[in-house]
Amino acid sequence: MHPKLKFKIDYKKDIETFFSFNRSAGWDNGRTLEWAFFRKYSFLKKYRKGNTLKISRGKVTKFVKLIYQKKRDVMSKNMYLYQKNWQGKEKDFYKLAAQLFSDESWPKGKYIVYPTIWGMYPRFLEDKTFQVPYKHKNRKYINVIIAHEMLHFIFYDYFYKKYQKYKFDKYNLFVWHISEIFNIIIQNSQKWLKIFKEKSKDYPEHRKIINKLKNKYYNKKGWVIDDLIDDIIESIRESNSPNLFGCPLEK
């Protein structure tokens, strides 16, 4: 059995997302602030203190509610279209996921898609919810985002069962790097592109590892995902890249 995604609109989700991004912004020297907030709402720069924003919950709530009121019709229309478009892909997605993870069951959760007004699209492993842009110039790419976040959910569940030494909080960022590299290699493979038509976008600090491993795995007829995961882990350790921000490299 696989989960059935629900699509909902709730401005309160975006308020919590703001503070979630704000709490975690320090690890990447302010990149999260730039991507999530400043590119779309430059006025927020006046609240910047180092790599965080000092702004009250009341001000954030007022701003988010105002945007949701103004964009209500656009959000409703787009979320309806996103749901309809996903329904045309979900059967193929679950087949592809099953080929990767064999008989692995999907972890329990809410599996709800929410829109976001922010410039990054987070997922929440705790309850299996995530967000997509309420408006995007390429609506077809929304399916790529949905597939990306759904792949995270089953990957993390699988990974922590197989690689239990990394379940401790000190490895959270390390596992995030692994999961992102894994997703890009999988989603940009020929089999996945045949279904989704669009490549998933990567993070700049991962490109060197992705390019190395995709050349190795894309030439293989059959994949063993544990081998791929092991290669990703080893590649991160060997890279010693300053761009893998704060990544613990100990074995």
Residue 158 domain-assigned? no
pLDDT above 70 (res 103): yes
- Same domain for 169 and 145, yes or no, is no
H/E element, 49: strand 48-49
Assigned domain for 156 exists: no
Q: pLDDT tens digits, residue range 175-211?
A: 999 999 999 999 999 999 999 999 999 999 999 999 9
* Per-residue tokens: 152: 């995270």
Q: Are residues 29 and 139 in the same domain?
A: yes
Residue 99 has a CB neighbour count (10 Å cut-off) of 12
**Whole-model pTM?**
0.93
Residues 60 and 18: beta-carbon distance below 8 Å: yes
Residues 168 and 146 in one domain: no
Of 119, 151, 183, the last residue of a domain is 151
Shared domain for 100 and 3, answered yes or no, is yes
pLDDT band at 163 (very low <50, low <70, confident <90, very high): very high
Read off the pLDDT band of 234 (50, 70, 90).
very high
How many domains are there within the chain? 2
Whether residue 244 has pLDDT greater than 70: no
Last residue of a domain, one of 124, 151, 178: 151
Domain that holds residue 15: 1-151
- The 10s digit of each residue's pLDDT in 5-64 is 999 999 999 999 999 999 877 677 788 899 999 999 999 999 999 889 999 999 999 999
pLDDT of residue 233: 95
Residue 157 domain-assigned? no
> 124 with 182, same domain?
no
**At CB < 8 A and 24+ separation, what contacts does 57-60 make?**
57/15, 57/19, 60/15, 60/18, 60/19
Pair (141, 243) in one structural domain: no
Size of the chain, expressed as the number of residues it contains? 251
- Is there a single domain that holds both residue 115 and residue 137? yes
Residue 98 lies in a domain: yes
Q: Is residue 48 part of a domain?
A: yes
What is the CB neighbour count within 10 angstroms for residue 73?
8
Cβ atoms within 10 Å of 251's Cβ, excluding its own: 6
- Neighbouring CB atoms inside 10 A of 234's CB total 12
Q: Which of 34-38, 78-82, 91-95, 243-247 has the weakest average pLDDT?
A: 243-247
Domain end position, chosen among 89, 122, 151: 151
